[in-house]
Structure 1
Amino acid sequence: MICRIWHGITPRAKADAYARFLEQRAIPDYRSVSGNRSVAVLRRDEAEVTHFMTVTHWDSEESIRAFAGDALLTAKYYPEDRDYLLEFEPQVRHYVVSAFESSG
């Protein structure tokens, strides 16, 4: 299993709207791909900005390719991200999961 982590930063004033966008647009997109095991969106508010991290778990690199394309470590962005994000980090991070437990 592979854990894929993406990080983005929004202005604090747009954080609630971006959180809704991720819930309504990004999470269903991740979940629609065969081989996606889970999605979590993490949020940390600071004074002027909010950090978001999406943490997803995938069965294989093949599953990730179905979601993100052949450039596995290239971040996938949606056109709407331009309305929210302060920067566009070019890459995500992948980790091989050495232990995983789910209650479900």
Structure 2
Amino acid sequence: MIARVWRGWASGAGAGEYQRHYETEVVEHLRQVAGFRGARLLRGEDGDEVLFTSITLFGGMDDVRRFAGDDPDLAVVEDTARRVLTRWDERVTHHEVAVDVQP
């Protein structure tokens, strides 16, 4: 399994809007991708901004490419997100999940 990790920052005022976008549009899109295994959106204060870290799980890199396209390291940041984020990582990182603990 592959974990795809990306970060984006929003102002305090824009943070709620970004979170709603992720919970609706991003999740809906991810659920349609073959090989999608789950997602987490982490939220934390970072100075005057709110830092979001998205961790999406896929069965393998072929599944990641179905989501991200030919350059899987390029961030997928939709226009809605671009309007409310102050900045974001242009590139993502991918990690093999070494241990996966479920309750």
Gaps of 5+ in 1: none
* Structure with greater strand share of residues: 2
Runs of 4+ in 1 over 6 A off after TM superposition: none
Between 79-88 and 10-19, report the one with greater CA deviation. 79-88
1:43 paired residue number: 43
* Equivalent pair of 1:7/1:53 in contact (CA under 8 Å): yes
Q: Number of aligned pairs?
A: 103
Q: In structure 2, how many angstroms separate the alpha carbons of the residues matched to 1:41 and 1:60?
A: 20
Aligned-residue offset at 1:39: 0.7
Aligned-residue offset at 1:41: 0.7
* Equivalent pair of 2:21/2:81 in contact (CA under 8 Å): no
Coordinate RMSD, CA, aligned: 1.2
Q: In structure 1, how many angstroms separate the alpha carbons of the residues matched to 2:70 and 2:47?
A: 37
Task: State the identity as a percent.
Answer: 28
1:28 paired residue number: 28
- Deviations, residues 19-71 of structure 1 (Å, cap 9, x unaligned): 11110111111121010101111111345210011111110111011100010
Q: In structure 2, how many angstroms separate the alpha carbons of the residues matched to 1:88 and 1:7?
A: 6
Normalised by the size of structure 1, how large is the TM-score? 0.92
Normalised by the size of structure 2, how large is the TM-score? 0.92
Gaps of 5+ in 2: none
